[in-house]
Structure 1
């Protein structure tokens, strides 16, 4: 078993661990081991294809040379590391920081919301945006203080401020988050910015195979505008994208200079919910609600696994197809499919993010935004990892990742 030579530092009252000498104030291993708070471990991976920070969940993550989907496989390194570092990993107190980012020290200060309740601002008050606001008003009383709303159409702002503030319980609960009308110059005065603008949504009857991609050209221009504005405003909160296609729009936002851990896409939640809906109707999918997982985008490239430990490729492919085509099925009834996406991918998942709970969303991984189960914890991202990832499932995920990366 190999031994590891580590160096310990303190910077801005934070403990930093490195395998190399750094130009920082050095401390002893004993001083580092006595610390019981959050600690940081420096890595160095090519910036283009890597995150600025992430939660370390097993010792092998301390020594990765590049990010790829193998990071989803849970395994320990044979290299011997100090016991206090193992303890920090187990207690979710060790965060990797990628020194390839020139602004890596900003990670030490990254904290979208230092208070218990968040302020959320939403731009785009169409079908999805309005439904999402309604969900947040009903569900967010214990974690959301205020919901700011903005749209180019002032009548939509007035409508949703008027209507949603009148959603109230019989006892007139004072803790429901207040809906506040915003001017455009106020939209980044928040802990979480939520992009719900939709341009070019096909009318009923004009559907093609993947409706999401039709929206990409128009939506990407708008999201790039707001991401650039966020950068100019020095916005340090979460930049959440709900509009389709979320994974590709996240990449557009990242190009404007936001940090990878800031940008998150919310489209996979409803695919997990739709898979559960279809699984509930057929006994052969009965284990999905407990063992199943969803991966990838909200459309072409989606991967539904009936189970990780008991993966059946044929059953999973059937369930994937049903889930992927659910949008078109709802459109065949004569309606646009926006209610479940706004609530399952939107309201529920945004609240789970705030509460550091597991949920589905797209996060940056090896040059693309990949939908996966994760949680926002200690101001960084923890990916769900798997001890028994089937090789044929991993291959499907790699194909999806290549598709997203090369788009």
Structure 2
């Protein structure tokens, strides 16, 4: 049996625990966290809705920033009008002024900005030509979005930002690497793209008996693109079934695009809002963490000592799939 901790750079100090390994770092969360969100496009706006509805126990306020001031005004009004018919508290949404230093005065900065969203028709034609194997739309976004994340991460360093820099924009893992190059600390950065892949695998597992074990025994690893690794079970791994479920999970994105829609709702909520809230509350979630050579998506949680990453015994075939994905990620940036 192999362990995902074998991929961690040997120069990186870690603390091994039963079933997990801790990547040492500062405790960057509080009982009540101030969250600021960059960009209110389809994804950012949906993430904001999720944070407002789900974050009451761990988020005290949500600052919103977008280049379009009218969009900011609209979301400040509408999201603050979402409430329960009783006294339950929801995080207050506040508008951040363009160029405001307060953008970096928070416990978590959520990066949802994007320049290069592929047109629905382009991605749909890729599906018709053979699916994700012929075109991973996330790679189209890397160059443009990389410039954006570098700009915001560099400014965060300049202003002494000490919170969590959460990358939601695609492609998540390479963008995290760019944020690292900008000067942020490794355990300060997390990427949020794997949650929806767990959600898509679970979707198929609920509908097809051959994949049902995933719901109780399965795991997702790696980037949320072609090198995604879905394991039907970590205790009794079946390579054939796992690869079949992986293919269905990867293609789910393109299937939505083939219908003429941008597949942003599930990613914004499963990878975004839900995983962000779990991170702030110290709960287990799917997100990308830095292993020393690249950021890799896995099941982890924030703790007092840093980031605790699940580290279970893995079938050799499963480990080799994860290792291949990790090596490919190291080559991207």
Above 0.5 in TM-score?
A: yes
Q: 1:291 to 1:160 in 2, by over 3 A?
A: same
By how many angstroms is 1:305 displaced? 0.3
1:304 alignment counterpart: 230
1:400 alignment counterpart: 325
Q: 1:242 to 1:128 in 2, by over 3 A?
A: same
Secondary structure of 1:374's counterpart equals strand
1:237 alignment counterpart: 163
Q: Equivalences for 1:184-223 in 2 at 5 Å?
A: 184=99, 185-207=101-123, 208=126, 209-223=135-149
Counterparts of 1:383 and 1:296, CA distance in 2:
13
Q: 1:376 to 1:328 in 2, by over 3 A?
A: same
Secondary structure of 1:317's counterpart equals helix
- Measured against aligned partners, the alpha-carbon deviations of 1:248-274 in whole angstroms (never above 9, x if no partner) come to 100000001111100000000000000
The answer (yes or no) to whether the contact 1:120–1:191 under 8 Å persists in 2 is yes
Q: How many residues align?
A: 313
1:57 alignment counterpart: 17
1:137 alignment counterpart: 52
Please state if 1:266 is matched with 2:192.
yes
Counterparts of 1:182 and 1:383, CA distance in 2:
34
Q: Equivalences for 1:126-205 in 2 at 5 Å?
A: 126-173=41-88, 175-183=89-97, 184=99, 185-205=101-121
1:317 alignment counterpart: 243
TM-score by length of 2: 0.90
By how many angstroms is 1:229 displaced? 0.5
Q: 1:237 to 1:379 in 2, by over 3 A?
A: farther
Q: 1:50 to 1:354 in 2, by over 3 A?
A: farther
Secondary structure of 1:180's counterpart equals strand
Counterparts of 1:117 and 1:391, CA distance in 2:
42
Task: Please give the root-mean-square deviation of Cα atoms over the aligned residues, in Å.
Answer: 1.8
Q: 1:51 to 1:370 in 2, by over 3 A?
A: farther
Counterparts of 1:366 and 1:52, CA distance in 2:
7
Gaps of 5+ in 2: 1-7, 127-134
Moved over 3 A (4+): 48-56
Please state if 1:331 is matched with 2:291.
no
The answer (yes or no) to whether the contact 2:47–2:273 under 8 Å persists in 1 is yes
Structure with the largest fraction of helix: 2
Gaps of 5+ in 1: 1-47, 59-73, 76-88, 90-94, 98-106
Which one of the candidate residues 282, 295, 311 is aligned to 1:369? Answer: 295
TM-score by length of 1: 0.74
By how many angstroms is 1:112 displaced? 2.2
The answer (yes or no) to whether the contact 1:293–1:308 under 8 Å persists in 2 is yes
Instruction: Return the structure number with greater relative CO, CA threshold 8 A, min gap 6.
Output: 2
Q: 1:204 to 1:310 in 2, by over 3 A?
A: same
- Measured against aligned partners, the alpha-carbon deviations of 1:365-405 in whole angstroms (never above 9, x if no partner) come to 13100000011111511110113x10011011110000000
Higher Rg: 1
By how many angstroms is 1:210 displaced? 1.0
